[in-house]
Amino acid sequence: MQGIKDKIRTIPDYPKPGIMFRDITTLLQDARGFRKTIDEMVQPFAGTRIDKVVGIEARGFILGGAIAHQLSIGFVPVRKRGKLPFQTKAQEYQLEYGTDSMEIHVDAITKGENILLVDDLIATGGTAEAAIKLIRHYEGNVIGGSFIVDLPELGGRKRLEALGVKVLALCEFDGH
């Protein structure tokens, strides 16, 4: 069986020139590859109490939902502003040009819960950092961040580790 990295399609110049987009849809549509990915995203946290999985919009929903199901625990979505129907808490984060905002329901995290943060890719770490701040606002304990892809030259892993978060990435890609 091919490795996980081999099942990820690279699309040059998307969404703009100079960007090498790492498309995980090819991995997700492969049943064995998807199962292996979920297993490997969870395995390093075996033996650790995890109360909920928090998934970052949108591919983090797919992965986080599968992980939460496997662990028989709850799933919490972190979404862009205005997408959640109940009362929310927002956290702004920096983009290359400007800011954006992520939100979580005010009743999603309970004080002392152990949370596994999940997304498909870590680049600069801005969205993951915003999610961590939201979780910590409600006194949740982020036990780790689990990602499929790390783009190490963009510094996201180091940014999250500086916040005291254990980061797992299944594979690394450079910008080329």
Extended beta strands in 47-158, E state? 52-56, 74-80, 88-95, 98-105, 114-122, 141-150
Are 125 and 160 in contact by the 8 Å Cβ rule? The answer is: yes
What is the Cα–Cα distance from 135 to 78, expressed in whole angstroms? 10
49 is known as an active-site residue: no
Of the candidates 9, 32, 49, 59, the residue annotated as catalytic is 59
159 is known as an active-site residue: no
Amino acid (1-letter code) at residue 112: G
What is the Cα–Cα distance from 30 to 49, expressed in whole angstroms? 29
In 3D, which of 82, 137, 72, 67 has the Cα closest to residue 108? 137
Q: Which residues are catalytic?
A: 59, 96
